[in-house]
Amino acid sequence: MGILRRRKLRAQPAPSVAQARQTAIDQTFLPIAIGQILASIEALAIKKLYEDDGLLRGVSSIGRPAEGVAGKVRVLIDSPHTPRILATATLVASGTLLMSRGRRRTQIVAAAVIALANRVNEFRTPYGRDGADQMTGIITQYRTLSALVPDRELSDDLFLRALNIQAGLSYFVSGISKLFGSSWVQGDAIGEILQTEAYGRGPAASVLRRFPRVVRLLTWVTPLWEVGFPIVYSLPSRWAHIALIAVKGFHVGVATVMELPRFVWGFAGSHGAVQYVVDQRRRGHHSLGKLERSVLTTAGVAVSVSVAYAASQRELDIVRRRGLKGTKVLDVGDGLVEYDLRSPTGSSIAAGEAPIIILEAGLGSPLASFSWLAEMLSEQHHVLSYHRSGYGLTTSKKSPGELVSELLARVDSTGKLISVSHSIGSLVAATYCASDLGGRRIETIVIVDGTDPEVLAQDRADRRRRGAFLQAQLGSMFVALSGVYNFVPNAISRQSAYAPDDQMGVIQFSFSPGNILRATGDYFAIPTADAIQALKSVGRRRVIASKEYEKQEISLASSLDAPFTLIENSSHRSILGYRAYAQRVADIIREVV
């Protein structure tokens, strides 16, 4: 009897591809419907928060004119009644979706209603949502858009494959972002989350806090499995199914510990699409569909082009610096030093007697970061800037003081020496400001947003701060290698506006992988122990601060017994990168000199 039953089961035909698609869609919308029912009930229960003085009040009309059709619509959307109306519509649509298994058209209509309600809510109050809400919005919007394709089979397949790509990217990108976060790499992130009032009040969180080693292990494991999520596509169907169950277990655990009952449903909804794609191999189809191949091919081409373009731009900058209007190089015995020397252009003092200003750049910054300042100060002074060992075209292993001595021998002036440093360049200047530089010593030092040696020493000794710096450098290295900085705004381009050639040079130099590595080494190698004493040995001292680092610079100026000047509205980079701020700095330097 058992044999006959097994033969009968084997004889049953496998479900068609169309049936498999509909099953996957049903598996997608079941958790979405449950999650949206819970969300709707929650929204109806917290109606006071949607009042005009509540935390979730409407803000779409704030700062916008109330006249006209658009203005009236915004006012209507911001009404406290709107969320309740939307929650009721979502509740009805979600209940319909829950009971619409196998009914494609009903699912599409219900998904469209949910998608529209979510979009209006997001427009009304663009905060107060988590990742599960975002995934729910993506799923319902994908279903609505894919339904516009007339061919049913193509429409359903497009929906599932697009959702599959979204799911894979969501997990992978989430893991990558965590690997660039020092608190995750150091094992502190989940522990910190469990200490918060919002997510650490529940009984499960209280229990978990008793086992710090388990919490640390979970913190390390989370980004690893997220980055490794794409492995699921190479597994047999059965093992892929088990892996997806484990992922659901992760979401259930997060929802339980953090008391987020809706957290699991949005993500679980995407797993039906993932399983559908995995099952295609079992059916004899290629493991990657046309959409996936197109997306991966496009992404591969885009990344390759970006990498090649970044390499060419960095090479172009080197060629530019080697040109007639670029920097110079000097052979100092054990290698070359790259430098720029500008002589007085409008001074009433003879060039042979004009003061010499030595510019010392910040961590990983090129000498071009001083270009505005060098241009302004060279009217009355010799202005010398250079690249330290390992940066740019400098191949010499000599110390900064030795390189400065070699370069000063090239300056035909008996004028006094002035040091102007930016950021960590102040600590570099401290290594030689009390030393003999070819028979002379520095008489005046001006520190622009300098690094406090005590703060740097504390950062180096602190595991978390040290890790945060290394993670930031790792992020910079990723941006540099991928070439993304050429196509999206970055901190340097946002906070500087040099002349076009100099702007290009500063950006390409700062995102050179070799310079990033060198900067990482310098962060830990530049001495801090006697820096304050060395800087105080210089007779005249001045500290100039950006608004961004005002407090730190006030403390540094106090330690140096130096006058302090604040450049209002400036940031650490823009204090040199914006012409107006650089002009203020130049004026102060002239006063000091």
What is the pLDDT, as a whole number, of residue 470? 86
The model carries a pTM of 0.69
What is the pLDDT, as a whole number, of residue 53? 79
Helix (H, G, I), strand (E, B) or coil at 414: coil
User: What span, in angstroms and rounded, lies between the C-alpha atoms of 582 and 590?
Assistant: 12
Expressed in angstroms, the distance from the first to the final Cα of the chain is 104
Beta-carbon neighbour count of residue 426 at 10 Å? 29
User: What span, in angstroms and rounded, lies between the C-alpha atoms of 407 and 328?
Assistant: 11
Burial of 65 (0-12, 13-18, 19+ CB in 10 A): exposed
The parts of the chain modelled with pLDDT lower than 50 are: 1, 3-13, 286-287
Integer CA distances (angstroms), 583 to 88, 344, 347, 370, 553, in order: 60, 17, 17, 11, 20
Integer CA distances (angstroms), 83 to 61, 94, 439, in order: 15, 16, 77
What is the pLDDT, as a whole number, of residue 367? 95
Q: Where are the domains of the chain?
A: 15-287, 314-592
* Residues above pLDDT 90, as percent of the chain: 52
User: What span, in angstroms and rounded, lies between the C-alpha atoms of 193 and 482?
Assistant: 31
Integer CA distances (angstroms), 409 to 334, 355, 370, in order: 17, 14, 22
Q: 314-592: what fold? A: Rossmann fold (3.40.50)
What is the pLDDT, as a whole number, of residue 10? 47
